[in-house]
Amino acid sequence: MNDFDYDMFEDAEELSPMYDESYSSANLWYDDEESEEVVSVGELWEMCVEPTMRDGLVHVGKLLIWCFLFRASTQLVQVPPMVCHAVSAGSGLLILHHFFKFTTVYIIGFIVVAYIILSLTSYLLKKYRGPIMGTICIVFLVVCELFFVKKTEWHKIRGAQMLVAMKIISVAFDADIGTLQTLPSPIEFSGYLLCVGTCVFGPWIPYRDYIAIYNKPVWNFQWVWRIISSIVLSMLFLTISTCWIQWLIPDESWRWWVAYRDALSFRSSHYFISFLSEASAITSGFGHHDTSYWTLTVARPQYIEVPRSLVQVVVFWNMPMHQWLKTYIFRTTKSFGSFAAILSTYAVSSLLHGLNFQLAAVLLSLGAYTYTEYVLRQKLASVFRACIQVRPCRKDCSHRSKDKQFLVILANVGFGILAMFHLSYLGVMFDVSSKLQDEGYNYMHTISKWSTLNYASHWVALFTYVFYLLV
């Protein structure tokens, strides 16, 4: 099971301060007195799509302008490294204040406390810095959520706080394993954590990649094209999430269609954030390879909406975050056994999101689902000598039945449909039109959503595991 990868579901709305009930309401294009009358495409465009895109572009534009100014001021000409880091931290603070106002002080306090503790542990121990900083970061996030910040305010900034925590933990682990020979100075540390291209919407970027953007920066047409294409895709998925999907599948539809609609709406909001984070990071200079190609990719919707397996979904849901979890959590805990590593990975990802029963329930369910799917398909692939594992086989694999054979295609399609079923069930409670999203979804909301579907996905997962034991 060395190649079993893990990721986490990220609550996309909590990273986006531009979500507003007036845009996400499913009844936006209905008249209160004539709720039965469905509007035309033109009216939908005028009442929902156009204002949603306008509001989104206003926020996106401000972010991208600051990302470009940061890159132009630090990568067009030779600038002293300390100046680069200072500009990175300063522009990051400005954009954080734009989105989060006074609550930015909690992010600054988090960074200051973390650097002091990391410096002390480096001086006293010079090892175990990764586990120590991981524990401290999680405790800090939980304490702030419980005692210091209002729920509505914390729900807006916890995505940015989670990104800061991931960067701090990665620096601590890199120092332990020798990837970093010395700790970054305070200004380097601040520049990395507050970099304007990644501090609001992500993605997580390793410290070495942050340092690399100042080394032989690439300016070419492909850089511009990647930014434009990412923005277009981001706006497309924003309108799908807030406008199109509710229009295509009304509330009166079959309950499983409504479940699929709500889950797709949530996934589309995640794709919006993913492509937006891609655009901001690339605008800041991240992601170039050699002298021409820009390889930074955050999510791949095509592998999520038409999946081969749930394992494939969690890998491509947020690829930088997947790499973070795999490198710093899964591999660190792998010595305790595969199942313990799985639970640790999903538990850490859940705690980083805060005290949220909804996310914890989804993540732990997803952990059980992906483990069950992986071991079952491994066993079936061994018994039938067929390419039906969670990932496509290599061309030179030892299986007798290859991917292009009809029965193998049929089996893989069947597992893909099963994955889509689980995704609809798990994502149904992420209702972007609910007023609860301002404070986070509670225990009763999650249970009520799953109960309307008779806990079908959990029963199917249990049956799948029993079947695996019997094979």
Domain extent listing, the chain: 77-216, 300-471
Q: Which residues pair with 237 in a beta bridge?
A: none
3-class DSSP assignment, residue 293: strand
Pick out the chain residues at pLDDT < 50: 1-35, 438
Q: How many CA atoms lie within 13 A of 183 on its CB side?
A: 24
- Amino acid in position 418: L
Q: Which residues of 344-375 are buried (b: 16+ CB within 10 A; e: fewer)?
A: bbbbbbbbbbbebbbbbbbbbbbbbbbbbbbb
Please return the burial class of 213, using the count of CB atoms within 10 Å of its CB with bins 0-12, 13-18 and 19+: buried
Q: What sign does the dihedral 262-44-317-88 (CA atoms) show?
A: negative
pLDDT tens, position by position, 177-221:
888 888 999 999 999 999 999 999 989 999 999 999 998 888 889
Catalogue the active-site residues.
353
pLDDT tens, position by position, 138-157:
988 888 877 766 777 777 88
Q: For residues 12, 18, 24 and 29, what is the CA-based torsion angle, rounded to 10 degrees?
A: -150
**In 10 A of CB 395, how many CB atoms?**
7
Question: What per-residue confidence (pLDDT) applies to 6?
Answer: 32
Euclidean distance between CA atoms 385 and 32, whole angstroms: 59
pTM metric for this prediction: 0.87
Question: What per-residue confidence (pLDDT) applies to 26?
Answer: 39
Q: What sign does the dihedral 192-359-445-302 (CA atoms) show?
A: positive
Question: What per-residue confidence (pLDDT) applies to 32?
Answer: 43
Q: Which residues pair with 401 in a beta bridge?
A: 386
- Contact call for residues 282 and 294 (beta carbons, < 8 A): yes
pLDDT tens, position by position, 162-177:
999 999 999 999 998 8
